[in-house]
Amino acid sequence: MQELIEPLAGLVAAGGVVVLSGAGLSTESGIPDYRGPSGVARRHTPMTYQTFLADAVARRRYWARSHLGWRVIAGAEPNDGHRAVARLQRGGLVTGIITQNVDGLHSAAGSRDVTELHGRLDEVVCLGCRRRTSRAEVDGRLRAANPAFGAHAVEVNPDGDVDLADAQVAAFRTVDCSACGGLLKPDVVFFGETVPATRVQSCFALVEQARLLLVLGSSLTVMSGRRFVIRAAKRNVPVVIVNQGPTRGDGYACLRVPAPLGRVLPAVADRLLGAAPSTVPAVPSPVGG
């Protein structure tokens, strides 16, 4: 492990690090990723924005599955990897954090000014009046509307979705916006939906100003995250990738570290900032609401 930590710590030591994190960073919090060693394979096609808008049956199926998956996400806590990133930020070495995750665990670990590329599951938006409410509030309304809903989540996807048989969702009741009666949607980017342009541009700006782009737990399979690695390479910003499996960005990396993030990142933080205190005050998870 030491032979992996030393070169990584040497690159991080100069500061100016922008982190790009993916689902692999949250696996040690009990949220499996899609493609890594702890990944889960979808048994159904992921919900698209177009289908969500057009198909009431599909919306009911989505909300039933997400209603269960949300309980798992809401109960997750930051792991040692999240806490190490927050320590490196407090120590002045990490200057920006971009995450593809929707679980809110970076913020729960104490990181500041996190750019959540794909939004957050703990917020719900009305597609009519655009009013935002907490997922906890909507969860309470869904529980009240479905007192006999007894399905249990076996596996949860990183976006909070789970696999359920159609028979289990047939009687599920959705709820609408309490202000205008419009359609409610978790404030996350669905397949077929675009990330807001201003958010993308702010991420590009972070990458262009970075001294180092540090990719943590992302396979970089989709362009949504890989474009920042490509931009860094074009601007001669070194790219370091820490991920247990291969990624589609490996060809751009000056260093590739195939090791568990929960072990490597705390070791790097200890190496550069000194050993962490034995007790750290817990930060309530905003996702747990």
Residues at the binding site for NAD(+) are 100-103, 217-219, 243-245, 261
Known catalytic membership, residue 118: yes
Write the CB contacts of 207 (distance below 8 Å, at least 6 apart in sequence).
Answer: 18, 98, 213, 228, 231, 232, 235, 237
Q: Which of 67, 82, 106, 118 is flagged as catalytic?
A: 118
Distances (CA, A) of 94 to 6, 18, 27: 17, 6, 22
Write the CB contacts of 116 (distance below 8 Å, at least 6 apart in sequence).
Answer: 99, 101, 102, 104
- The alpha carbon of 53 is separated from its chain's Cα centroid by a whole number of angstroms, namely 24
What are the backbone angles phi and psi of residue 36, rounded to the nearest 5°?
-80, -170
Binding residues for Zn(2+): 126, 129, 177, 180
Radius of gyration of the chain (CA): 19
Write the CB contacts of 144 (distance below 8 Å, at least 6 apart in sequence).
Answer: none
Binding residues: 100-103, 126, 129, 177, 180, 217-219, 243-245, 261
Task: List, by residue number, the catalytic residues.
Answer: 118
